[in-house]
Amino acid sequence: MIDYERSLNRAFEHMPEYLTTDVRFSIPEPHIFIEGKTTVLKNFLEIADVVNRDPTHLLKYMLKELGTAGKLDGNRVIFQGKFTAETIQSQITAYADEFVICSECGRPDTELVRSDRVLMLKCAACGAHRPIRKRRVRPVAAKDAIEEGGEYDVRITGVGRKGDGFTQIDKYTIYVPRTVKGEIVTIKVNSISGTLAFAEILERKATE
């Protein structure tokens, strides 16, 4: 019994100072809105901080996977093209699976290291390490149109002669009553006529 207790104590002494669990590891949902022909991811740096990776590494991965261009703008990222929150979320999840989560113990207590020019994922929780796989990039087509009944987060870019706010998505000018320039709102498109669309407010997000 004494030998067992000594062995147990030695095991605890060699454990990492802290461990997280895959249950506690929760990546924030992406907060996006469409502005013209771009998609703005407002909480990009928060997401990069949670996954504990260099923001430029995460951004480079997402740009390749989405098949688009983009740039950091303060705490947010601006992507060229229109992407749904689900598309952005799926790319962030794929990044975490490849570059963050240990394939042996499922914990995110990892770091990226290089060994003989090979990028490795090393786990501080269980000691496992594996090479990062080089995957073939398959660009994701950007969503290039709106549809009746569709819901979108947008920024109101101007106010028309009749006092209705409007925004632009792709070739469409969308009029949204009871809005002002600079508001970020969730809208539902009720009707489309040519390149004009008319929507209603579902939720007011913020005012810039």
What is residue 25's predicted lDDT score, i.e. its pLDDT?
A: 76
Residue 197: beta bridge partners? Answer: 174, 192
Average pLDDT across the chain, whole number = 84
Give the whole-angstrom CA distance, residue 23 versus residue 178.
Answer: 42
Confidence of residue 197 (pLDDT cuts 50, 70, 90): very high
What is residue 207's predicted lDDT score, i.e. its pLDDT?
A: 72
pLDDT tens digits along 98-145 = 999 998 888 899 999 988 888 899 999 898 888 987 554 454 545 556
Give the whole-angstrom CA distance, residue 76 versus residue 108.
Answer: 23
What is residue 36's predicted lDDT score, i.e. its pLDDT?
A: 85
Give the whole-angstrom CA distance, residue 181 versus residue 64.
Answer: 33
Is the confidence at residue 208, as pLDDT, over 70?
Answer: no
Nearest to 69 by CA among 36, 37, 29, 98: 37
Q: How many CB atoms lie within 10 A of CB 44?
A: 28
Alpha helix positions (H), the chain: 2-13, 44-51, 55-66, 85-99
The one-letter code for the residue type at 115 is S
pLDDT tens digits along 20-33 = 444 467 899 999 99
pLDDT tens digits along 160-184 = 888 999 998 888 899 999 999 999 9
Percent of the chain residues past pLDDT 90, beyond the cut: 47
In the chain, the domains with their CATH numbers are 2-131 (3.30.30.170), 151-207 (2.40.50.140)
Residue 70: beta bridge partners? Answer: 79
Percent of the chain residues past pLDDT 70, beyond the cut: 82
Burial 86-118 (b: 16+ CB within 10 A, else e): ebbbebbeebbeebbbbeebebbbbeeeeeeee
pTM over 0.85: no
Question: Looking at residues 75-84, what average pLDDT do you find?
Answer: 92
Q: How many CB atoms lie within 10 A of CB 125?
A: 19
In angstroms, the first-to-last Cα distance of the chain is 67
Give the whole-angstrom CA distance, residue 68 versus residue 41.
Answer: 14
